[in-house]
Amino acid sequence: MAPTKRFEGCAVLITGAGRGIGEATARRLAAEGAAVLLTDIDGERAAKAAAALRAEGLTAEAALCDVADREQTDAAVATAVDRFGRLDVLVNNAYSFHQDPESLEDVRDEDWALDLDITLTGALRCARAAMPHLEAAGGRGCVVNIGSVNGEQDFGAHAYSAAKAGLASLTRTLAGQCAARGVRVNLVAPGTVATPGWAGREASLQRAAEHYPLGRVGRPEDIAAAVAFLASEDAAWITGVTLPVDGGILIGNVGLRGALRAGRPRTP
């Protein structure tokens, strides 16, 4: 069955799109008719991903973009508008992640600052550059931020979690400010997703899956589908929301439930 063309005639810019969730989102939106600019701090990786989409008959271009650099974010938006003639959707997917050290005293200022700068401030830089063009989309413009369940509950990673929580707050404040300009702003909060960043740690993913009520970790395509919904006109009356796409992890505690049920007969 051919995909629905909800994005026919639309132009999309995605950050951190060289692989994982960003690449899957680019493929999903392009398959639905969008012209997509894949940006990444690794320009070669973005170019390879865009070439793969073009080989599938989809419309995709690539650009280098470090969202920590205002000049590069401004240039990426200008590139999208130059190549496609417009910009309708911005997907802020780029992030930085540093694992917590064993002791709080060993948290490094530079790691904390980088995670917040890329994950949170980078999204603001991109939204700021894109907003005039999103407004010009005549009510079609929208921003979809990629957050995390880490921004909703404690799953460790101080800086990354703080940045994702800040991104959820920024989503709400931007939604309130930009609604009058005809631009919607929403956020998708993924749970654990099997991306290339987990390479070599497949055993950890398998253990994590045991704690998800739906019995598995996420796939990049799960997140891409949610982004496609929030970016589409199917969500035309939705703004300022955080949509968990998390296999139920925020509403279930499999480990505790199992402990409490140990030795008890199953209820019908």
- Domain of 103: which CATH number? 3.40.50.720
Residue 257 has pLDDT above 80, yes or no: no
- pLDDT for 197: 86
- 266 in a structural domain: no
Please state, in angstroms and rounded to a whole number, the distance separating the CA atoms of residues 86 and 134.
8
Residue 258 has pLDDT above 80, yes or no: no
Look over the chain and give the mean of its residue pLDDT values, rounded to a whole number. Answer: 94
CA dist list (Å): 110 to 92, 122, 130, 201, 268: 22, 16, 28, 26, 54
Count the domains in the chain.
Answer: 1
- pTM (2 d.p.): 0.94
Q: How confident is the model at residue 53 (pLDDT cuts 50, 70, 90)?
A: very high
Q: In what order do the strands lie in the sheet with 242-245?
A: 59-64, 35-40, 11-14, 89-92, 142-146, 184-190, 242-245
Computed on alpha carbons and rounded to an integer, the radius of gyration of the chain in Å comes to 19
Q: Are 93 and 21 in contact (CB under 8 A)?
A: yes
Tell me the sheet residues that pair with 31: none
Q: Which residue has the higher pLDDT, 256 or 228?
A: 228
Per residue in 144-162, pLDDT (tens digit) is 999 999 999 999 999 999 9
Please state, in angstroms and rounded to a whole number, the distance separating the CA atoms of residues 85 and 28.
21
- 2 in a structural domain: no
Q: Is 181 exposed, middle or buried (0-12, 13-18, 19+ CB in 10 A)?
A: middle
Question: What is the bridge-based pairing of β-strands 59-64 and 35-40?
Answer: parallel
Q: Are 49 and 26 in contact (CB under 8 A)?
A: yes
- pLDDT for 255: 73
- pLDDT for 37: 98
- 137 in a structural domain: yes
Residue at 40: amino acid letter: D
Selecting among 160, 188, 217, 222, the annotated active-site residue is: 160
Over range 53-75, report the average pLDDT.
98
- pLDDT for 263: 56
Residue 21 has pLDDT above 70, yes or no: yes
Residue 108 has pLDDT above 80, yes or no: yes
Residue 247 has pLDDT above 80, yes or no: yes
- 172 in a structural domain: yes
Q: How confident is the model at residue 71 (pLDDT cuts 50, 70, 90)?
A: very high
- 110 in a structural domain: yes
> How many other CB atoms sit within 10 Å of the CB of residue 164?
27
- pLDDT for 4: 84
- 161 in a structural domain: yes
- 3 in a structural domain: no
- pLDDT for 2: 61
Closest CA to 181 of 233, 220, 239, 229: 239
- pLDDT for 267: 44
- pLDDT for 268: 45
3-class DSSP string for 156-209? CCHHHHHHHHHHHHHHHHHHHHHHHHCCEEEEEEECCECCHHHCCCHHHHHHHH
Domain hosting 116: range is 11-198+220-250
Known catalytic residue at 160: yes
- 63 in a structural domain: yes
Q: Are 249 and 154 in contact (CB under 8 A)?
A: no
